[in-house]
Amino acid sequence: MIKSCYIHIPFCNKICSYCDFPKLLYNANYVDKYLDSLEKEIKSIYKNDILDTLYIGGGTPSSLSLEQLSRLFNILGNLKKSIDIEYTIECNFSSLTKDKLELFKKVGVNRISLGIESIDKNNLKLLEREEYTDEIVNKIKLIRDIGINNINVDLMYALPGETIEVLEKDLDFILSLDVEHISTYSLIIEDHTKLKISNIKNIDEDLDYEMYRLINNKLKSNGYKHYEISNYSKDCFESRHNKCYWLNDEYYGFGLGAASYIDNKRITNTRSITKYINNGYSIVCEDLDIDSKIEYEIMLNLRLCCGIDLDRFKNKYGIFLSEKYDYNYLVNTGLLILNNNCLFIPEDKLYISNQIIVKLLQNKL
Amino acid sequence: MKEENIRNFCIIAHIDHGKSTLADRILELTGAIDKRELKSQMLDSMDLERERGITIKLNAVQLSYKYNDETYQLNLIDTPGHVDFSYEVSRSLAACEGAILVVDAAQGVEAQTLANLYLALDNNLTVIPVINKIDLPSADPDKVIGELENIGFEKKDIVLTSAKTGVGVEELLEKIISVIPSPKGDRKSPLKALIFDSLFDSYRGVITSIRVVDGEVHTGDIIRMMETDAVYDVVGLSINNPKEKEVSVLRAGEVGYLFASIKSISDVHVGDTITLDDNPAKEALPGYKPMKPTVYCGLYPIESSKFEDLREALNKLKLNDAALTFEPETSKALGFGFRCGFLGLLHMEIVEERIEREFGIDLIATSPSVVYEVEMTDKSKILVDSPTKMPRRELINKTYEPYVKCSIFTPSEYIGPLMELCQDKRGTFINIDYLDTERVTINYELPLSEIVYDFFDRLKSSTKGYASFDYEVIGYKESNLVKMDILLNGEIVDALSVIVHKDFAYKRGRLVVEKLKEIIPRQLFEVPIQAAIGMHVIARETVRALRKDVLAKCYGGDVTRKKKLLEKQKEGKKRMKQIGSVEVPQEAFLSILSTKE
């Protein structure tokens, strides 16, 4: 049974300079065709599983018109949902209206994810995002008034030119919103983004690290739990959808460029909108054997602060992790901690988790 | 052939002055080969020789030439063209009565022209000066004639040739017959034959090139090597014309090949004298010297699995190269390899290149080292050819290093920069010889270790490539030498240790630690890089701890990209050498070991 599903809506009213996800400028004509094709894709693949999490991401899903959103929710109405489903939609501030929020509430959306990223003028200019600082507080109040009380905001940091002081202001502002979940992302300058093309360089590694520590200290001292490398939440508000990824569970992924993990296969959809609206969906398919499933398991679990649950691992694969990988050296040198039968990266070393994961994967028995 | 009609000669020249081409032309003119089968530079049989224009192994060809109705036997003995092989050169010169000194009509007299000329004169050879390449647009024969007059030749004795077009070669052949004396051996005396080269043949064992000085040698004779006392049956004798032809006897004055089922080239010493076991000569020919390596370095396969292949490659090269020595060596940093000894830098480069090219093994070579002499506190003396063999400082009383006399031949405008270079390299000025107003020879005494380090590159760059140089080892001098270690995270990286003069240790140390800092990637912890003499740290840098690695977002659950990133990191780690707890990229060694100032 697959319990999670991701829906990608690639449309935006404006393209941000750092974004490397499949997206295009909003175009009413394309949206209708896109939704037609999305409906077909879901029908051909979805097997009536009861979903525990449903996540509509983008792009900017809220950039669709009210009618288009109704159409989208009609399509998604065919998906079976558990009673306590976590149902998230990503929104931006300019397109988020009371009408749309009421629609969300009506169809059962119970979690809103908002990209704030920063309130600093220079940062926003670099990211090519509009300023909504004044609107943010009102919109969040509106969301809560409608009755949706699980809100995530995204914060970006380590932007070229950013100082510790700027980050501190951003953090203070976000904390003042008193949201349930905060995602923090250190800027990655990806290929083919506007930033990369303008030859923008990353900030100094050491400053990046200082910023990470500041975020960690500040959010934790304000009651947020650090549960994944980049994610913090209040008690009981961890993103169940994201945890599906980190726990290496299977999920559906529909829409342009969406990734799915179904029947031991990791599938990536095409990033070409013309192909997609002509019903050409998947382009890459990786059929996984047990060894690569285990590699994924390790790599993904270790992003979580609770790490690899060794009992769960044994139940899932029928062998102990220690039969496949020698992690004693890493435990002895303090790069991994073994506690309560969970193997995890110590919090102060999460930021170099790639190195640690690679070291572990190299110690294959 | 009667001795009066034999001429034994060689061609000597500075590198690239056209020695091999001239030899080809002589072969063609004497009818030894016709033009169609003339592969350019016939005498150089190894591909590498032909490519680099350097004659590595010797060859002797017997030619027949008619002059004034008399038939003459001309034995052309080819010699190596570089200082590293100067002992081999001197032995092949000893097999001749005359030498053709070839000078490029555009380049003029160069360092090795002089060095070779002096070697020839030392061996009492009659020298015919030849100005070659007169067909070149840049040729300036008059100027070169002047230069040759300055070093003692008379204008009337100089032959102008173009080996390329054939002009003057006939005249040269006539000069060889009229000027070079015939051999004056005694065919009735006990056999004395000089070994001037040897070559390993997989079917016949070691083939020796010999010049019979006195007496005769026949197939079936029992011979004795006077230096090693080894006794063998002569299985066969042959000459090259230039195809091999078997003969039953070689008589005084003649040159040829002798094979005697000798299995190891180490039993045959170039310069040794062959005599008959039952009728030995009273004394050997003069001038024998055992060949000793002057430069050592460690050779390691980049892929550690190729260690046995490397051993095999060295064994094969050794068959034809008695001067090459090697013994297994282990380095913590580089794994299993060999400590190899060479006659000089060029010899080292040639061996490295042949291993990489002919045997397909990629190598890491450690910094070349010379052989140091160490006097211990108990007055005993040891030889140190590798930094790892250097005793602890408190056990050392005095240290000595080999010195060379270095002659730099240069246009006079570079005297300043060259003297500065030599001064910088701890040189002691001897004198300057003026060939004419524009060309000089600067003579210096220099430590061999400085020449081995980066002297040649700096010489070339400070004179735009116009200067040439030559050196000979003159002996040991006391010198304040120390072993400098490089430490990574407190651990000595044996492959990077060097022996340096104390006054230069700081500069070298700084250079190496700075370079390492650039190359070593950040690790999970801070890595100090130190250069130290004993316990005393002279330079330090730090590679800061890794703070952040890329954290890919996973929007839409696209985790395959992240996996690919990790796969890439994993691949990268495979190319790292683990030094203690530090991961060092393979390239680090390559770039440090080729450090140029």
pLDDT single digits (tens) B159-191 = 999 988 889 999 999 999 999 999 999 999 999
Q: Is B87 helix (H, G, I), strand (E, B) or coil?
A: helix
Residue B85 to residue B90: CA distance in whole angstroms = 9
In B339-489, where does DSSP find H-type helix?
Answer: 345-359, 415-424, 448-450, 456-462
Chain A residues in contact with B564 by the CB 8 A cut-off are: none
pLDDT higher than 90, residue A65: yes
- To 10 degrees, what angle do helices A353-362 and A290-301 make? 150
CA dihedral B282, B287, B290, B293 (to 10 degrees): 180
Please tell me if residue B405 touches chain A, with a CB cutoff of 8 Å.
Answer: no
Quick: pLDDT tens for B443-473: 999 999 888 877 888 888 888 877 888 888 8
For the record, the structure tokens of B84 come out as 């590293």
pLDDT band at A125 (very low <50, low <70, confident <90, very high): confident
The pair of three-digit structure tokens given for residue A111, joined into one six-digit string: 């979690």
- The answer to whether the CB atoms of B524 and A335 lie below 8 A apart is yes
pLDDT digits (tens, 9 = 90+) for B468-496: 888 888 999 999 999 999 999 888 888 88
pLDDT of residue A255 exceeding 80, the answer is yes
Confidence of residue B57 (pLDDT cuts 50, 70, 90): very low
Task: Sort residue A3 into left (φ over 0), alpha (ψ -120 to 50) or beta.
Answer: alpha
- Locate A282 and state its tokens: 């998947």
- Higher-confidence residue: A347 or B569? A347
Task: Give the pLDDT mean for B230-241.
Answer: 90
In which band, very low, low, confident or very high, does the pLDDT at B52 lie, cut at 50, 70 and 90?
very low
CA-based torsion, A307, A312, A314, A318: positive or negative: negative
- Whether the full predicted model's pTM is greater than 0.80, yes or no, is no
- Reported as a pLDDT band with limits 50, 70 and 90, residue A190 is confident
- Does A253 contact B at CB distance below 8 Å? yes
Contact B103, B114 (CB under 8 A): no
Put simply, whether A260 touches B (Cβ < 8 Å) is yes
Contacts of A244 (CB under 8 A, 6+ apart): A3, A4, A53, A251, B557
Q: How far is A241 from chain B (nearest CA, A)?
A: 10
pLDDT digits (tens, 9 = 90+) for B250-301: 999 999 999 888 887 777 888 899 999 999 999 999 877 777 788 899 999 9
* B569 touches A: beta carbon within 8 Å: yes
Partner-chain residue, chosen from A242, A253, A361, that has the shortest CB–CB distance to B570: A361
Q: Would you say A248 and A254 are in contact if contact means Cβ atoms under 8 Å apart?
A: no
* Bridge partners, residue A343, by sequence: A308, A338
**Is A296 touching B (CB cutoff 8 A)?**
yes
Q: Are A225 and A235 in contact (CB under 8 A)?
A: yes
DSSP B108: B
Q: Are A171 and A184 in contact (CB under 8 A)?
A: no
* Residue in A255, A286, A357 nearest the CB of B560: A286
Interface contact A266-B553, CB threshold 8 A = no
How is residue B251 written in tokens? 């008589």
Give the mean pLDDT of chain A.
91
Tokens of B391: 């005793």
- A212 CB neighbours in chain B (<8 A) are 548
Beta strands in B279-395 (DSSP E): 295-301, 325-331, 335-342, 363-365, 369-370, 372-376, 381-384
What's the rounded Cα separation, in Å, for the pair A235 and B243?
A: 93
Contact list, A245 vs chain B (CB under 8 Å): 554, 557, 559
What is the β-pairing status of strands B126-132 and B159-160? Answer: parallel
Please state, in angstroms and rounded to a whole number, the distance separating the CA atoms of residues B418 and B470. 14
Q: Any idea which of A342-351, B224-233, B237-246 has the lowest mean pLDDT? A: B237-246
Contact A206 B544 (CB under 8 A): yes
Backbone torsions φ then ψ of B523, nearest 5 degrees: -110, -175
Distance CA A151, CA A181 (A): 6
Tokens representing residue B345 in the block: 């830098």
Tokens of A187: 């800027």
Chain B residue numbers with beta carbons less than 8 Å from the beta carbon of A230 are: 551, 553
Tokens 């036997």 identify what position? B73
Please tell me if residue A31 touches chain B, with a CB cutoff of 8 Å.
no
Question: How far apart are the two ends of chain B, measured CA to CA in Å?
Answer: 59
Please report, to the nearest 10 degrees, the dihedral formed by the alpha carbons of residues B392, B396, B398, B401 taken in order.
Answer: -30
The answer, for A207 touching chain B at a CB cutoff of 8 Å, is no
Mean pLDDT of chain B: 85
Least reliable range by pLDDT among A191-205, B96-110, B239-253, B408-422 = A191-205
B554·A299 Cβ contact <8 A: no
Which pLDDT does position B49 carry in this prediction? 46
Report CB contact under 8 Å: B556, A188.
Answer: no
pLDDT at B577 over 80: no
Distance CA B471, CA A272 (A): 70
Share above pLDDT 70 across residues of chain B, in percent, rounded to a whole number: 92
Give the span between the Cα atoms of A256 and A335, in whole angstroms.
38
- Pair type for strands B536-543 and B527-533: antiparallel
Helix (H) or strand (E) holding A324: helix A321-324
Q: What is the mean pLDDT of residues B212-216?
A: 95
What element of type H or E holds B587?
helix B586-593
Q: d(Cα A74, Cα A199) in Å, to the nearest integer?
A: 43
**Which is nearest to A298 in space by CA: A348, A337, A343, A261?**
A343
Which residue in chain B is spatially nearest to A357 when comparing CA positions?
B566
> Taking CB atoms and an 8 Å cut-off, how many pairs form between chains A and B?
96
* Residue A61, SS3 per DSSP: helix
Give the CA-trace dihedral at B490, B496, B501, B507, to 10 degrees: -70
Chain A residues whose CB is inside 8 A of the B569 CB are 354-355, 358
A286 Cβ under 8 Å from any chain B Cβ: yes
pLDDT over 90 (residue B109)? no
Has residue B58 got a pLDDT over 60?
no
Residue numbers of A between 151 and 170 with CB closer than 8 Å to B = none
Confirm if B522 and B582 have CB atoms less than 8 A apart.
no
The per-residue pLDDT for B452 is: 82
Distance of CA A103 to the CA centre of its chain: 23
In this complex, the residue of B557, B562, B573 whose CB is nearest that of residue A253 is B557
Tell me, yes or no, if A317 comes closer than 8 A to chain B by beta carbon: no
Of A208, A257, A286, the CB nearest to B556: A257
- Report residue A34 as tokens: 């896109």
Q: Chain A closest CA to B547's CA: distance in Å?
A: 6
Which among B548, B560, B562 has the least Cβ separation from residue A352? B548
Whole-angstrom distance, CA of residue B274 vs CA of residue B234: 11
Structure tokens at B355: 């291993």
Which of 332-361 (A) contact B at CB < 8 A? 335, 349, 351-358, 361
State the pLDDT at residue B132: 93
More confident residue, B554 or B307: B307
Rounded to an integer, what distance in angstroms lies between the CA atom of residue B29 and that of residue B35? 9
With contact defined as beta carbons under 8 Å apart, do B263 and B206 qualify? Answer: yes
Query: Touching check for A117 and chain B: CB below 8 Å?
Result: no
The Cβ of residue B360 has, within 10 Å, a number of other Cβ atoms equal to: 10
SS3 B111: helix
Using an 8 Å CB-CB cutoff, list chain B residues near A351: 547-549, 551
Distance in angstroms (rounded) separating the CA atoms of residues B317 and B358: 10
Query: Does A262 contact chain B (CB < 8 Å)?
Result: no
What's the whole-number mean pLDDT along residues B61-68?
Answer: 89
**Which element (helix H / strand E) includes A221?**
helix A205-221
Residue of B nearest to A259 (CA): B558
User: How many C-beta atoms lie closer than 10 Å to residue B146's C-beta?
Assistant: 15
pLDDT at position A254 is: 95
Q: Mark yes or no for CB contact A362/B565 under 8 Å.
A: no
Query: φ and ψ at A255, to 5 degrees?
Result: 115, 175
**Residue B247 β-bridge partners:** B237
Residues of A in contact with B557 (CB under 8 A): 6, 244-245, 251, 253, 258-261
Yes or no, beta carbons of A358 and B570 under 8 Å apart = yes
DSSP state of A325: B
Residue A251: its chain B contacts at CB < 8 A?
557
Report whether B321 contacts B315 (CB < 8 A). Answer: no
For residue B380, give the amino acid letter: S
The tokens for B372 are: 């140091």
A79-93, B104-118, B326-340, range with greatest mean pLDDT: A79-93
List Cβ neighbours of B114 (8 Å cut-off, separation of 6 or more): B151, B407, B409, B441, B470
Q: Residue B42: pLDDT above 70? A: no
Place of tokens 């934790």: A220
* Cα nearest neighbour of A301 on chain B: B559
For residue B499, count CB atoms less than 10 angstroms from its CB and return exposed for 0-12, middle for 13-18, buried for 19 or more: buried
**Does residue A61 contact residue A73 with C-beta atoms inside 8 Å?**
no
Note whether B557 contacts A286, CB cutoff 8 Å: no
Please name the amino acid found at residue B93.
L
Angle at the Cα of B248 (from B246 to B252), degrees rounded to 5?
110
User: Using the beta-carbon criterion (under 8 Å), do A300 and B559 form an inter-chain contact?
Assistant: yes
Assign B573 a pLDDT band (cuts: 50, 70, 90). Answer: confident
In this complex, which of B524, B553, B554 lies closest to A352 when CB atoms are compared?
Answer: B524
Contact B565 A296 (CB under 8 A): no
B394 touches chain A (CB under 8 A): no
- The token duo for B215 is 């007496």
Residues 213-242 of A with CB under 8 A from B: 229-230, 242
Reply yes or no on whether the pLDDT at A132 is more than 80. no
What percent of chain A is modeled with pLDDT above 70? Answer: 100
**A280 to chain B, closest Cα gap in Å:** 18
**Per-residue pLDDT at B84:** 62
Q: Which two tokens stand for residue A145?
A: 């008034």
Tokens, residue B39: 């592969």
DSSP string, B62-82: EEEEEETTEEEEEEEEE---S
Task: Tell me, yes or no, if B568 comes closer than 8 A to chain A by beta carbon.
Answer: no
B566: closest chain A residue by CA: A358
B571 interface with A at CB cutoff 8 Å: no
Tokens of B389: 């063999």
Q: What does each C-alpha distance from A15 to A21, A23, A26, A156, A347 come to in angstroms?
A: 10, 8, 10, 16, 34
Cβ <8 Å between A354 and B566: yes
